[in-house]
Amino acid sequence: MKTPANSAAALLSPYSLGPLTLRNRVVMAPLTRSRADAQTLAPRALNAEYYAQRAGAGLIISEGSQVSQQGQGYAWTPGIYSEAQIAGWRQVTDAVHALGGTIFIQLWHVGRISHPELQPDGALPVAPSAIRPEGQAFTNDGFKPMVEPRALETSEIPGIVEQFRQAARNARAAGFDGAEIHSANGYLLEQFLRSHTNRRSDAWGGSLENRTRLLLEVVAAVGSVFGLERTGVRLSPATTVNDIGPGEPELAAYVLKALDASGVGFVHMVEGVTGGARTVEGFDFRALRKLFPRTWIANNGYDGALGAEAVASGHAELVAFGKPWISNPDLVERLATGLPLAQPDKATLYGGDAHGYTDYPRATPAAIA
């Protein structure tokens, strides 16, 4: 086998995440692929094959999995609220564990980024405030304009926390090693954080403390199931996707300090605009990282060299890659040997069958010898 490429060597060492030993520092980021069973929204054998192919990652974080039907925002995304979904995910975790991998679930509630066609009984999506997002929802019948959501009643918010708690219990029953709470990319928990989407005047809105309250209660709920060392949070404080509004640097600092105080095991940080610019005025991610001294998973636009530098410099303990995992099931080997990366077929990213999902080839033995 070739000597590991110098540019990626720091990514290849093991890492202790709480009680877990990860084989390397390369993380598979959550990647929505919309290939759950169309009726049950449960993972299938095809999904188990897909994740098993990528078990060489130090840590796999599953695609976002809605904590309830209310939490669904896209067609054919998996849930973690039914017995069929628990059984489907058990196929996935068993397949990953059989190859020595580690896999966390990402727990997801999209809030207003949905459509009545995806909601129970055709109900309106819920949100902190009744503000319609710009954009289109991906429904079973194609893209449709998003609607004005219904503002959650104060009395309903503890029920959202319980959705996450029960989903964590279900995920543990499905064999996951831990959980990541999705509080990024303009979904429900980030909708509570941002002033653009949270206009509430009760205990869940207004001040930084109030806007952060729901996230911290969800952290405590999920941590009570998996343990805080096996619980993390994904954040994207500078992103503008899903009409979440401009970033708020003061909010980012407050949230990181609060998460540090909570004892949560890791932060998975989208550094910059999700899928876009890494540099955003007002945000210094090197400085923000210092506010959370435990495990930091760096994400957004990383390649092997940049990821290795982040680890070697102490900026991050782990580095998450997203789209490269789609078309490179052997991404760790390619980073280790300096092989070029295959590019994904954009036409097969969402929905469909094995094509563009489990049929991307690994590098030939001759290439990595």
Catalytic residues: 187
Say if CB 41 and CB 72 are below 8 A apart.
yes
- Pairwise CA distance, residues 228 & 217, whole Å: 12
DSSP states of 10-56: GGGS-EEETTEEESSSEEE-------S-TTT----HHHHHHHHHTTT
**Helix, strand, or coil (residue 320):** strand
Q: Which helix (H) or strand (E) holds 329?
A: none
CA diameter of the chain: 63
Q: Using only C-alpha atoms, what is the Rg of the chain?
A: 19
Provide φ and ψ at 280, rounded to 5°.
Answer: -130, 130
Say if CB 80 and CB 67 are below 8 A apart.
yes
Cα separations in angstroms, 308 against 16, 74, 265: 17, 34, 22
- Pairwise CA distance, residues 237 & 241, whole Å: 11
Residue count of the chain: 369
Find how far residue 93's CA is from the centre of its chain: 17
- Pairwise CA distance, residues 104 & 97, whole Å: 11
**Within 10 Å of residue 361's Cβ, how many Cβ atoms?**
10
DSSP state of 79: B
Q: Which residues pair with 28 in a beta bridge?
A: 60, 321
